[in-house]
Amino acid sequence: MAGSIYKKPILFAIVVTFTVLSGSIVMMLLPMMSDSMHPKLSTLKPYTPLQLAGRDVYQENGCFYCHTQTVRPLKAEVMRYGEYSKAGEFAYDQPFLWGSRRIGPDIAREGGKYNDDWHYKHFNDPRAMFADSNMPAYGWLKDYTLDPQGMEKRMKALSFPCTPADLQALAGKTKLDALVAYMQTLGSAVPRKAEAAMIAQGEKNPLAGNADAISDGRKLFETNCSACHGINAKGGIGPNLENNEWLHARSDETFFSIIANGTTAGQELEGGKKTKGGMPSWHETLDKKKIWSLVSYIRSLKGK
């Protein structure tokens, strides 16, 4: 009796179709509609009009062809880029921009790593920041202003909260402004793990006044630091390192800590000075000897 259904192809097709559809609804469709299948980080916020415009600029220029936005749960990637990606980070990404190739580095944790000035300079001339970069320049984006009315429609289409003040803030903003704002959102909702600091507490610079160390420090400075502090250390994105405020009111230990561990906004330095933040840490790239060589070179600028 049970085998007779195989002799009735139309009935058999209907039964199979019904069975597959029922299973698909129970196993796939219903779970997809539940909140538990759409996690969202508690710190995650919807895009502002400026940030969403930047995301559009990112897509229309094909940035995802070269950059990924997902850190895989592999030790090497976590060590290089930071905490691996979680589903709850992408609740407002429609569509997601994970990418699949890394011609350029992953940027899932780019937000807050550098300050806005750094990004403007980098987009204008990538080779000014990284001599071997093959990234095209995007400084021309500053010639294109945003359309507030168009962005209002985009915000409504995606059900993002948007106030008149948000739209007014777009006045005079360019596509380059938007792209920088978007870059600063990447990974910003993920709590950052405190980095293991490199400390030189109570340690004197063993290379102070050493001519070879100063020469090595100058080369290291030109390669790693000149993009932000200027080729002659006279300042740019970062402060002028020749002035009295830096050379006379800071100990070698403070210089070492700044170079090794970077700075964060509002961080108080020796003498009560607070930093603007935005300087990355270098202790994973440079060893102690190289950092002390940099300190020696900076000290050698005194009086010049």
For residue range 66-97, list pLDDT tens digits in order. Answer: 999 999 999 888 888 888 898 889 989 989 99
One fold for both 49-183 and 211-300?
Answer: yes
Percent of the chain residues past pLDDT 90, beyond the cut:
44
| pLDDT score, position 143 | 96
Q: Which residues of 260-272 are buried (b: 16+ CB within 10 A; e: fewer)?
A: bbbbeeeeeeeee
Please compute the mean of the pLDDT values over residues 181-206 and round it to a whole number: 78
304 or 281, greater pLDDT: 281
* Tokens 């390669």 sit on residue: 223
The string over 178-203, giving b where at least 16 C-beta atoms fall within 10 Å of a residue's C-beta and e elsewhere, is bbbbbbbbbbebbeeeeeeebebeee
pLDDT of res. 248: 57
User: 174 pairs with which residues across the strands?
Assistant: 145
Tokens of 144: 């294109």
Residue 174: DSSP 8-state: B
d(CA 113, CA 224): 16
C-beta of residue 227 within 8 angstroms of C-beta of residue 121: yes
The answer to whether the beta carbons of residues 155 and 162 sit under 8 Å apart is yes
Residue 2 — very low, low, confident or very high, per pLDDT cuts 50/70/90?
A: low
Is residue 196 predicted with pLDDT exceeding 60? Answer: no
Residue that is written with structure tokens 């000149």 in the block: 226
CB 239 within 8 A of CB 228: no
pTM for this entry: 0.76
Q: What pLDDT was estimated at residue 197?
A: 59
Mean pLDDT of all residues in the chain?
86
Alpha helices in the chain, H assignment, sequence order: 9-24, 30-32, 49-60, 75-81, 116-124, 126-129, 148-157, 164-168, 175-183, 211-224, 226-229, 244-247, 252-261, 288-300
198: amino acid identity, one letter: M
Q: Place 37 in a pLDDT band, splitting at 50, 70 and 90.
A: low
**Whole-angstrom distance, CA of residue 66 vs CA of residue 63:** 6
Q: Specify the pLDDT at position 53.
A: 96
Distance CA 7, CA 1 (A): 11
One of 3.50.50.60, 1.10.150.20, 1.10.3720.10, 1.10.760.10 is the CATH number of 49-183, namely 1.10.760.10
Segment 166-175 mean pLDDT = 94
Query: Which are the contacts of 224, defined by CB distance < 8 A and separation ≥ 6?
Result: 282, 285, 286
pLDDT higher than threshold 80 for residue 128: yes
Class of domain 211-300 (CATH, top level): mainly alpha
What number is the average pLDDT over the span 143-157? Answer: 95
Q: Is the pLDDT of residue 304 over 60?
A: no
Identify the pLDDT of residue 78: 86
User: What pLDDT, on a 0 to 100 scale, did the predictor assign at position 247?
Assistant: 57
For the chain, what are the domain ranges?
Answer: 2-37, 49-183, 211-300
- Closest to 295 measured CA to CA, from 222, 226, 224, 205: 205
Tokens of 278: 């935005």
Residues 153 and 159: their CA atoms lie apart, in Å, by 10
Determine the average pLDDT of the residues in 250-254. 81
Q: In Å, how far from its chain's centre is CA 297?
A: 30
